Amino acid sequence: MKNNEVFVIEGGSRLTGKVNISGAKNAVLPVLASSLLFDKPFEITNIPRVIDIYTMLELLSVIGTQYEWIGKNSIKLYPDIKNQIAPYGIVEKMRASIYVLGPLLAKTGFAKVSFPGGCNFGPRPINFHLEGLKKFGAKIEIEHGFIVSRASRLHGAKIVFDQKTVGGTIHLLMTAALVEDETVLQNVALEPEVEQVAELLKSSGVEIENIGGEVLRVRGVKTLTPPSTIEIIPDRIEAGTFMVIALATHSDIRVENIKPNHTSSVLEKLEESGAGIEIGESYVRVYPKSEKISPLIIQTSPYPGFPTDMQPQFMALLSVADGMSIVRETIYPSRFHHAYELQRMGANIQVKDGEAIIRGVSSLEGTVVNASDLRAAASLVIAGLMARGKTIVRNIYHLDRGYEDFEYKLSKLGAKIKRKKEM
């Protein structure tokens, strides 16, 4: 991970053209982890080349799985388990590392996984994961910073999530795939990434009823047979980011290789804020209808509501809106580090108790800002593209965790952005 690179952005350019959206890293990560359930090789296509993917591949390699890249964005996986310990040095880099815990336990009866890391914007407890595994019959102990789980045999369970959790839903769904009794998961997350994992398991022999609904009935099998090829869905957050860039810079951008219905809540807010929207089968064109950006009231909520992962990008946009906007963060109430960096650029933002009040200013001013997490980094790049003068965004390794070829895609649209080593 490179800590000494920055983006240097000259703001004020209007962009135009087409941008091709990469595969969803939040779908790839659990699909990669699910390989531990299988005995046969299979291929995954439309994989983004981002840091989190390399981290998961490193973790799978330590466990025993081999892989080879086939072209730029496809991988052939050769699942194997030779080691049931996921070490801190890898797991600390990425929260999704927790996904290997259930599959290892279901497959071998033992797993030892370090507490996970990832973006730092507030507590994201893993109690849903651990309590769920206990209901399958696992014995869980915490030993020297490791989650140690054991089970001679897992049995079916009824698990009701207190609140919707994407990670918890995916993790326990994967675990249930090798549990031959019936498992019922209630109040599950509805995100497209959950559906991708469910469809993969179903095509591998697992009986799953009501995919896409809030209650899943799962009956696992003794042996899973994966399909020969799995195509990863497009990244709806990357798509949304470029849609916001279009309106923020008063540009005309066609965002391609996407599923428009996955971005409905984002499109609604963009249209409300003054964007023109043209929707095709696999693209969305966003363009300005006026010079003014209308203020919004946004409240994050689980899918199909407005995604927390789009909140920072919209905050950058709304910092120059014509009036007062309110952003309520109900998923991660402390996810506002980017607001303080936007203030350094001249934004008028007040943050209190999970809510941000944004009074639009006429323009932002370029300066040096620090990215604190993946989506905050995207927010600051958007601000830099809007701002007068030069903006330097530091700590862009955060952005590299989830966006493939970001500055290259922006440059093709006409943005003045360069990656440089920090002096």
Active site residues: 119
Q: ∠ at Cα 374 (118, 198), nearest 5°?
A: 65
Rounded distance, CA 401 to CA 403, Å?
A: 6
Rounded distance, CA 128 to CA 331, Å?
A: 15
Q: Which residues contact 227 (CB under 8 A, 6 or more apart)?
A: 42, 200, 203, 204
Which value, in Å, is the radius of gyration of the alpha carbons in the chain?
22
What token pair was written down for 57?
């591949």
Give kind and range of the element (H or E) at residue 18: strand 16-20
Q: Which residues contact 335 (CB under 8 A, 6 or more apart)?
A: 121, 122, 308, 311, 312, 329
Rounded distance, CA 267 to CA 156, Å?
A: 40
What is the DSSP annotation of 186-209? ES----HHHHHHHHHHHHTT-EEE
Rounded distance, CA 237 to CA 251, Å?
A: 19
Q: How many CA atoms lie within 13 A of 87 on its CB side?
A: 8
Among candidate residues 374, 383, 382, the one with its CA nearest the CA of residue 50: 374
Cis geometry, peptide bond prior to residue 116 (ω within 30 degrees of 0) = no
E-assigned strand segments in 301-409 = 324-328, 348-352, 355-359, 368-370, 390-394
* 27: helix, strand or coil: helix
Rounded distance, CA 342 to CA 327, Å?
A: 14
CA distances from 338 to 31, 167, 344 (A): 30, 24, 10
Looking at this protein, which amino acid is placed at residue 330? T
Burial status of residue 421 (CB atoms within 10 A of its CB: 0-12, 13-18, 19 or more): exposed
* 374: helix, strand or coil: helix
Give kind and range of the element (H or E) at residue 386: helix 374-386
